[in-house]
Amino acid sequence: MTLSPQRYTVIFPFSGDGKRILLGLKKRGMGVGLWNGFGGKPEIGETIDQCAHRELKEECGLEARDLQHVGVLSMYSSKSGRKEVFVYTAKDIVGGITESDEMRPEWFNVADLTYKDTYKEAQVWWPTMLKGSTFVARFEFVDGDITFQEISPVEAKQLAQLRSSANEP
C-alpha cells in the first residue's frame, strides 16, 4: 500500500503589473527565517483551492480574485516522506496586507529577486513560475540536500487533473 503524500499549497501574490511579488518571512515552524509564498495544509473537507484562499487570508490579510494554479512540486525525503505542493499565483488581490504570527509580508521587485534566505529548491522552480509558465517539478532530498531535481512544462489541463485527484478522499 502506498501512502498518499502530505499535501500543501503555496500562493504568490503579484502586483497588477506583475513587477512586484509579495513574499512572507516565516516566523515560526517549518522554514523559519526563510522567504516564501503563503500557504499550508488543507483542513478536513477543504479543497486545495479553498486552502490556498484561506491560507493567504490568514497569513497576510489578502484575498485573491484570480487564483491561478501554475505548478505542482513533488518532494521526497526519507525523513519526512512524500509531499505535494500546489503552487498558485494571483495578480488581482484585495485587502490590506497584515503581518501574522506566522509570516511577515514584504514586497520585492521581481527583477531584483535573489534566492537568499529561500528554500534550496526555489532557485530551480521560481524562475519558471516568475515567467508565468505552468510546470511540475520533482525533488528528492537527503539530509536537507537536493539529490535529484527535475522540472517539466505542462498544460493547464494536466494541472487541473492533478488538483482534481488531490481533492478526492
30 within domain boundaries = yes
pTM of the shown model: 0.94
Our CA dihedral for 65, 68, 72, 73, rounded to 10 degrees, sits at: -60
Query: What is the spatial distance between Cα 142 and Cα 53, in angstroms, rounded to a whole number?
Result: 32
Q: Is residue 137 part of a domain?
A: yes
Tell me the mean pLDDT per 10 residues along the chain, length 169.
80 97 95 96 94 97 96 92 96 96 97 94 96 96 91 92 79
Any domain includes 136? yes
1 domain residue, yes or no? no
Measured CA to CA in angstroms, residue 117 lies from 31, 99, 121, 169 at distances of 10, 19, 11, 35
In DSSP notation, the chain reads -PPPPEEEEEEEEB-TTSSEEEEEEE-SSTTTT-EE-EEEPPPTT--HHHHHHHHHHHHHS-EESS-EEEEEEEEEETTTEEEEEEEEEES-EES-----SSEEEEEEEGGG---TTB-TTHHHHHHHHHTT--EEEEEEEETTEEEEEEEEE--HHHHHHHHHHHT--
Specify if 24 maps to a domain.
Answer: yes
On whether residue 169 sits in a domain, the answer given is: no
What's the length of the chain?
Answer: 169
What residues make up the domain containing 43? 6-164
The enclosing domain of 124 has a CATH number of 3.90.79.10
Report the pLDDT value the prediction gives residue 1, as an integer from 0 to 100: 41
In a domain, 121, yes or no: yes
Domains held by the chain: number: 1
Q: Answer yes or no: is 84 within a domain.
A: yes
